[in-house]
Amino acid sequence: MKDMFKGVGILEFQARFPDDNACKDYLQSIKWPDNYSCNKCGHKKYCGTNKYGERRCTKCRRVESATANTLFHKVKFPLLKAFYIVFFVSTNPKGMSSYELARKLNMHQPVVWRFKRKMTLAMKSSGNHPISGEVHVDETFIGGKTPKKKGRSQSSKKQAVIAIQKHPKGGISRAYAQVIPNAGYKSLKPFIEKHISIQANLKTDKWRGYRPLTKNTDYKLTQINSKQGENFPELHRFIMMLKGWLRGIHHSVKHLQAYLDEYTYRFNRHKWKDSIFHNLMKRMVAHQPVKFSEFEIAT
Protein backbone atom coordinates (compact mmCIF):
# COMPACT_ATOMS: atom_id res chain seq x y z
CA MET A 1 0.00 0.00 0.00
CA LYS A 2 1.67 3.19 -1.22
CA ASP A 3 -0.15 5.64 1.04
CA MET A 4 -0.18 3.65 4.28
CA PHE A 5 -0.08 5.79 7.40
CA LYS A 6 3.24 5.66 9.26
CA GLY A 7 4.13 7.29 12.54
CA VAL A 8 2.88 7.88 16.07
CA GLY A 9 2.43 11.66 15.99
CA ILE A 10 -1.05 13.02 16.65
CA LEU A 11 -0.59 16.03 14.32
CA GLU A 12 0.34 13.77 11.41
CA PHE A 13 -2.63 11.56 12.20
CA GLN A 14 -5.05 14.51 12.28
CA ALA A 15 -3.72 15.78 8.96
CA ARG A 16 -4.15 12.39 7.32
CA PHE A 17 -7.63 11.69 8.74
CA PRO A 18 -9.59 14.96 8.94
CA ASP A 19 -13.05 13.38 8.53
CA ASP A 20 -15.05 10.18 8.03
CA ASN A 21 -14.54 10.19 4.26
CA ALA A 22 -10.76 10.11 4.65
CA CYS A 23 -11.21 7.10 6.95
CA LYS A 24 -13.42 5.35 4.39
CA ASP A 25 -10.80 5.96 1.70
CA TYR A 26 -8.18 4.32 3.90
CA LEU A 27 -10.38 1.30 4.61
CA GLN A 28 -11.09 0.90 0.88
CA SER A 29 -7.38 0.94 0.07
CA ILE A 30 -6.85 -1.89 2.58
CA LYS A 31 -9.95 -3.85 1.64
CA TRP A 32 -9.38 -3.64 -2.13
CA PRO A 33 -5.61 -3.02 -2.45
CA ASP A 34 -5.32 -4.18 -6.07
CA ASN A 35 -8.70 -4.57 -7.71
CA TYR A 36 -12.28 -4.67 -6.53
CA SER A 37 -13.88 -8.10 -6.21
CA CYS A 38 -17.55 -8.55 -5.36
CA ASN A 39 -17.95 -10.38 -2.07
CA LYS A 40 -20.98 -12.24 -3.47
CA CYS A 41 -20.16 -13.20 -7.07
CA GLY A 42 -16.49 -12.28 -7.47
CA HIS A 43 -17.13 -9.84 -10.34
CA LYS A 44 -14.35 -7.29 -10.83
CA LYS A 45 -16.28 -4.24 -12.03
CA TYR A 46 -18.26 -1.80 -9.91
CA CYS A 47 -19.91 1.57 -9.90
CA GLY A 48 -20.48 4.05 -7.12
CA THR A 49 -23.65 4.81 -5.15
CA ASN A 50 -25.01 7.98 -3.62
CA LYS A 51 -23.24 7.09 -0.35
CA TYR A 52 -19.53 7.79 0.00
CA GLY A 53 -17.38 4.68 0.37
CA GLU A 54 -19.87 2.24 -1.17
CA ARG A 55 -19.37 0.14 -4.30
CA ARG A 56 -22.07 -1.60 -6.35
CA CYS A 57 -21.24 -4.70 -8.35
CA THR A 58 -22.19 -4.15 -12.00
CA LYS A 59 -23.17 -7.82 -12.35
CA CYS A 60 -25.20 -8.88 -9.29
CA ARG A 61 -25.86 -5.29 -8.08
CA ARG A 62 -24.71 -6.10 -4.55
CA VAL A 63 -23.69 -3.00 -2.59
CA GLU A 64 -20.78 -3.19 -0.20
CA SER A 65 -19.37 -0.41 1.95
CA ALA A 66 -15.80 0.09 3.12
CA THR A 67 -16.77 -1.08 6.61
CA ALA A 68 -18.86 -4.12 5.61
CA ASN A 69 -17.53 -7.54 6.66
CA THR A 70 -14.90 -5.98 8.91
CA LEU A 71 -14.67 -5.18 12.62
CA PHE A 72 -15.89 -1.68 11.69
CA HIS A 73 -19.19 -3.18 10.48
CA LYS A 74 -22.19 -1.16 11.72
CA VAL A 75 -20.15 1.06 14.04
CA LYS A 76 -22.72 3.30 15.77
CA PHE A 77 -20.50 6.37 16.13
CA PRO A 78 -18.40 8.44 13.69
CA LEU A 79 -15.79 6.38 11.88
CA LEU A 80 -13.20 9.06 12.64
CA LYS A 81 -13.60 8.41 16.36
CA ALA A 82 -13.12 4.68 15.74
CA PHE A 83 -9.85 5.50 13.97
CA TYR A 84 -8.75 7.62 16.92
CA ILE A 85 -9.39 4.71 19.29
CA VAL A 86 -7.30 2.38 17.14
CA PHE A 87 -4.55 5.00 16.90
CA PHE A 88 -4.37 5.78 20.63
CA VAL A 89 -4.45 2.13 21.71
CA SER A 90 -1.92 0.89 19.16
CA THR A 91 0.65 3.70 19.23
CA ASN A 92 0.64 4.58 22.92
CA PRO A 93 3.31 2.38 24.59
CA LYS A 94 0.90 1.58 27.42
CA GLY A 95 -2.29 1.67 25.41
CA MET A 96 -5.23 3.57 26.84
CA SER A 97 -8.18 2.63 29.00
CA SER A 98 -11.75 2.93 27.80
CA TYR A 99 -12.36 5.61 30.45
CA GLU A 100 -9.52 7.78 29.16
CA LEU A 101 -10.56 7.25 25.55
CA ALA A 102 -14.15 8.19 26.37
CA ARG A 103 -12.96 11.38 28.06
CA LYS A 104 -10.71 12.37 25.15
CA LEU A 105 -13.31 11.63 22.47
CA ASN A 106 -16.41 12.81 24.35
CA MET A 107 -18.04 9.37 24.17
CA HIS A 108 -19.83 7.03 26.56
CA GLN A 109 -17.39 4.64 28.23
CA PRO A 110 -19.43 1.45 27.63
CA VAL A 111 -19.54 2.25 23.89
CA VAL A 112 -15.77 2.72 23.78
CA TRP A 113 -15.19 -0.43 25.83
CA ARG A 114 -17.27 -2.55 23.44
CA PHE A 115 -15.43 -1.27 20.38
CA LYS A 116 -12.06 -1.69 22.10
CA ARG A 117 -13.07 -5.24 22.99
CA LYS A 118 -13.73 -5.89 19.29
CA MET A 119 -10.35 -4.40 18.47
CA THR A 120 -8.56 -6.85 20.76
CA LEU A 121 -9.95 -9.70 18.65
CA ALA A 122 -7.67 -8.47 15.86
CA MET A 123 -4.74 -8.34 18.31
CA LYS A 124 -5.05 -12.03 19.09
CA SER A 125 -2.03 -14.07 18.01
CA SER A 126 -2.49 -16.18 14.89
CA GLY A 127 -0.05 -18.78 16.16
CA ASN A 128 1.80 -18.62 12.83
CA HIS A 129 5.02 -17.28 14.32
CA PRO A 130 6.17 -19.55 17.16
CA ILE A 131 9.08 -18.27 19.23
CA SER A 132 12.42 -20.07 19.10
CA GLY A 133 15.94 -19.80 20.47
CA GLU A 134 16.11 -19.72 24.26
CA VAL A 135 12.54 -19.68 25.58
CA HIS A 136 11.49 -19.34 29.23
CA VAL A 137 8.02 -20.32 30.44
CA ASP A 138 6.21 -19.84 33.75
CA GLU A 139 2.70 -19.40 35.10
CA THR A 140 1.33 -16.65 37.29
CA PHE A 141 -1.88 -15.63 39.06
CA ILE A 142 -3.51 -12.35 38.03
CA GLY A 143 -6.25 -10.39 39.78
CA GLY A 144 -8.57 -11.43 42.60
CA LYS A 145 -7.52 -12.15 46.16
CA THR A 146 -4.01 -13.31 46.88
CA PRO A 147 -3.74 -16.99 47.91
CA LYS A 148 -2.74 -17.52 51.56
CA LYS A 149 -0.48 -20.37 50.50
CA LYS A 150 2.59 -19.93 48.36
CA GLY A 151 2.98 -21.71 45.05
CA ARG A 152 0.14 -22.72 42.74
CA SER A 153 -2.72 -22.89 45.25
CA GLN A 154 -6.19 -22.04 43.97
CA SER A 155 -7.78 -18.65 44.64
CA SER A 156 -10.09 -16.12 43.01
CA LYS A 157 -7.18 -15.10 40.82
CA LYS A 158 -7.00 -16.23 37.20
CA GLN A 159 -4.00 -18.20 36.08
CA ALA A 160 -2.00 -17.45 32.96
CA VAL A 161 1.02 -19.04 31.32
CA ILE A 162 3.71 -16.71 29.95
CA ALA A 163 6.46 -17.50 27.43
CA ILE A 164 9.29 -15.19 26.40
CA GLN A 165 12.02 -15.50 23.79
CA LYS A 166 15.33 -14.18 25.09
CA HIS A 167 17.32 -11.95 22.78
CA PRO A 168 20.91 -13.17 22.23
CA LYS A 169 22.21 -9.74 23.29
CA GLY A 170 19.92 -9.46 26.31
CA GLY A 171 16.29 -8.55 26.87
CA ILE A 172 13.21 -10.09 25.29
CA SER A 173 12.46 -10.47 21.59
CA ARG A 174 8.86 -11.69 21.76
CA ALA A 175 6.31 -12.91 24.28
CA TYR A 176 2.98 -14.72 24.45
CA ALA A 177 0.46 -15.14 27.26
CA GLN A 178 -2.68 -17.21 27.70
CA VAL A 179 -5.26 -17.76 30.41
CA ILE A 180 -5.32 -21.40 31.57
CA PRO A 181 -7.76 -23.23 33.87
CA ASN A 182 -4.89 -24.76 35.85
CA ALA A 183 -1.17 -25.45 35.67
CA GLY A 184 -1.51 -29.08 34.67
CA TYR A 185 0.17 -30.59 31.65
CA LYS A 186 -3.08 -30.79 29.67
CA SER A 187 -3.49 -27.00 30.01
CA LEU A 188 0.15 -26.12 29.35
CA LYS A 189 0.73 -28.40 26.35
CA PRO A 190 -1.62 -26.66 23.82
CA PHE A 191 -0.11 -23.25 24.61
CA ILE A 192 3.44 -24.53 24.20
CA GLU A 193 2.66 -26.34 20.95
CA LYS A 194 0.92 -23.27 19.48
CA HIS A 195 3.43 -20.59 20.44
CA ILE A 196 6.83 -22.28 20.86
CA SER A 197 8.89 -23.84 18.07
CA ILE A 198 9.97 -27.45 18.46
CA GLN A 199 13.54 -26.24 17.80
CA ALA A 200 13.47 -23.94 20.84
CA ASN A 201 15.62 -24.51 23.90
CA LEU A 202 12.84 -24.54 26.47
CA LYS A 203 13.61 -23.70 30.10
CA THR A 204 11.16 -23.83 33.02
CA ASP A 205 11.21 -24.22 36.77
CA LYS A 206 10.79 -27.69 38.26
CA TRP A 207 6.99 -27.67 38.26
CA ARG A 208 5.77 -31.19 37.47
CA GLY A 209 3.30 -29.90 34.86
CA TYR A 210 6.16 -29.50 32.38
CA ARG A 211 7.83 -32.87 32.90
CA PRO A 212 5.69 -34.87 30.44
CA LEU A 213 7.07 -32.66 27.65
CA THR A 214 10.29 -34.69 27.77
CA LYS A 215 8.37 -37.95 27.29
CA ASN A 216 5.43 -37.04 25.07
CA THR A 217 7.00 -34.44 22.74
CA ASP A 218 10.28 -33.65 20.99
CA TYR A 219 10.84 -30.42 22.92
CA LYS A 220 14.29 -29.88 24.41
CA LEU A 221 13.40 -29.07 28.01
CA THR A 222 15.64 -27.96 30.86
CA GLN A 223 14.17 -27.57 34.35
CA ILE A 224 15.97 -25.65 37.10
CA ASN A 225 15.04 -24.17 40.46
CA SER A 226 13.37 -20.79 40.07
CA LYS A 227 14.79 -19.33 43.29
CA GLN A 228 11.82 -16.98 43.43
CA GLY A 229 12.51 -15.76 39.93
CA GLU A 230 16.24 -15.15 40.28
CA ASN A 231 17.03 -17.75 37.60
CA PHE A 232 14.44 -16.27 35.22
CA PRO A 233 15.01 -12.49 35.55
CA GLU A 234 13.75 -11.44 32.09
CA LEU A 235 10.60 -13.55 32.37
CA HIS A 236 9.71 -12.30 35.83
CA ARG A 237 10.45 -8.71 34.84
CA PHE A 238 7.99 -9.14 31.97
CA ILE A 239 5.36 -10.58 34.33
CA MET A 240 5.79 -7.68 36.74
CA MET A 241 5.48 -5.15 33.90
CA LEU A 242 2.31 -6.88 32.69
CA LYS A 243 0.74 -6.83 36.15
CA GLY A 244 1.81 -3.23 36.69
CA TRP A 245 0.18 -2.26 33.38
CA LEU A 246 -3.08 -3.96 34.33
CA ARG A 247 -3.15 -2.24 37.73
CA GLY A 248 -2.04 1.16 36.51
CA ILE A 249 -4.02 1.52 33.28
CA HIS A 250 -7.06 -0.70 33.73
CA HIS A 251 -7.22 -1.24 37.52
CA SER A 252 -9.38 -4.34 37.12
CA VAL A 253 -10.15 -6.60 34.16
CA LYS A 254 -13.05 -8.90 33.41
CA HIS A 255 -11.94 -10.43 30.11
CA LEU A 256 -8.32 -11.15 30.95
CA GLN A 257 -7.34 -12.89 27.70
CA ALA A 258 -8.27 -9.81 25.68
CA TYR A 259 -5.92 -7.68 27.79
CA LEU A 260 -3.12 -10.25 27.48
CA ASP A 261 -3.59 -10.19 23.70
CA GLU A 262 -3.45 -6.38 23.67
CA TYR A 263 -0.31 -6.22 25.78
CA THR A 264 1.65 -8.86 23.88
CA TYR A 265 0.52 -7.45 20.51
CA ARG A 266 2.08 -4.08 21.27
CA PHE A 267 5.12 -5.59 22.99
CA ASN A 268 5.96 -7.83 20.04
CA ARG A 269 5.88 -4.85 17.69
CA HIS A 270 7.78 -2.31 19.77
CA LYS A 271 10.49 -2.13 17.09
CA TRP A 272 7.94 -1.32 14.37
CA LYS A 273 6.02 1.50 16.05
CA ASP A 274 5.66 3.48 12.82
CA SER A 275 3.60 0.76 11.16
CA ILE A 276 1.69 -0.64 14.14
CA PHE A 277 -1.46 1.40 13.42
CA HIS A 278 -1.59 0.22 9.81
CA ASN A 279 -0.91 -3.38 10.82
CA LEU A 280 -3.81 -3.35 13.25
CA MET A 281 -6.09 -1.70 10.69
CA LYS A 282 -5.30 -4.49 8.20
CA ARG A 283 -6.15 -7.09 10.83
CA MET A 284 -9.43 -5.39 11.66
CA VAL A 285 -10.42 -5.18 7.99
CA ALA A 286 -9.54 -8.86 7.45
CA HIS A 287 -11.47 -9.97 10.55
CA GLN A 288 -15.11 -10.95 10.15
CA PRO A 289 -17.64 -8.74 11.96
CA VAL A 290 -18.56 -9.93 15.44
CA LYS A 291 -21.55 -9.04 17.56
CA PHE A 292 -20.83 -8.26 21.19
CA SER A 293 -23.14 -11.11 22.24
CA GLU A 294 -20.86 -13.52 20.36
CA PHE A 295 -17.74 -12.64 22.32
CA GLU A 296 -16.05 -15.34 24.31
CA ILE A 297 -16.51 -14.10 27.86
CA ALA A 298 -15.15 -17.05 29.79
CA THR A 299 -11.76 -15.43 30.29
pLDDT < 70 regions, the chain: 1-2, 144-156, 252, 295-299
Domains and CATH numbers, the chain: 10-34+69-123 (no CATH), 134-237 (3.30.420.10)
Whole-number Cα distances in Å, 233 to 55, 164, 226, 236, 262: 54, 11, 10, 5, 23
From the list 38, 31, 3, the residue with the least C-alpha distance to 17 is 3
- What's the distance, CA 133 to chain centroid? 23
Cα 283–21–14 angle (5° rounding)? Answer: 80
| Spatial separation of the C-alpha atoms in residues 214 and 226, rounded to whole Å | 19
Which residues neighbour 193 within 8 Å (Cβ) at sequence distance 6 or greater? 217
H-type alpha helices, 124-253: 185-195, 213-216, 233-245
Instruction: Report the pLDDT value the prediction gives residue 40, as an integer from 0 to 100.
Output: 86
What's the CA gap between 170 and 243, in Å, rounded?
22
Note whether 173 and 130 are within 8 A (CB).
no
- The contacts of residue 104 (CB under 8 Å, 6+ apart) are 84, 88, 96
Give the integer Cα–Cα distance in Å for 256 and 148.
Answer: 22
pLDDT for the residue 295:
65
* Spatial CA neighbour of 205 closest among 170, 236, 160, 172: 236
Q: Cα–chain-centroid distance for residue 121?
A: 7
Q: What is the pLDDT of residue 299?
A: 45
Residue 297 CA to residue 299 CA, distance in Å, equals 5
Q: Which residues contact 61 (CB under 8 A, 6 or more apart)?
A: none
Q: Answer for the pair 120, 290: CB distance below 8 angstroms, yes or no.
A: no
pLDDT score, position 50 = 87
Give the global pTM. 0.91
68 sits in which H/E element: none
3 state SS of 15: helix
Q: Which residues pair with 204 in a beta bridge?
A: 223
The DSSP 8-state label assigned to residue 211 in this structure reads: T
pLDDT confidence of residue 145: 58
The pLDDT score that the predictor gives to residue 298 is 41
Q: Looking at residue 146, what is its pLDDT?
A: 52
HSE-CB for 90 with a 13 A CA cutoff: 31
d(C-alpha 160, C-alpha 188), whole Å? 10
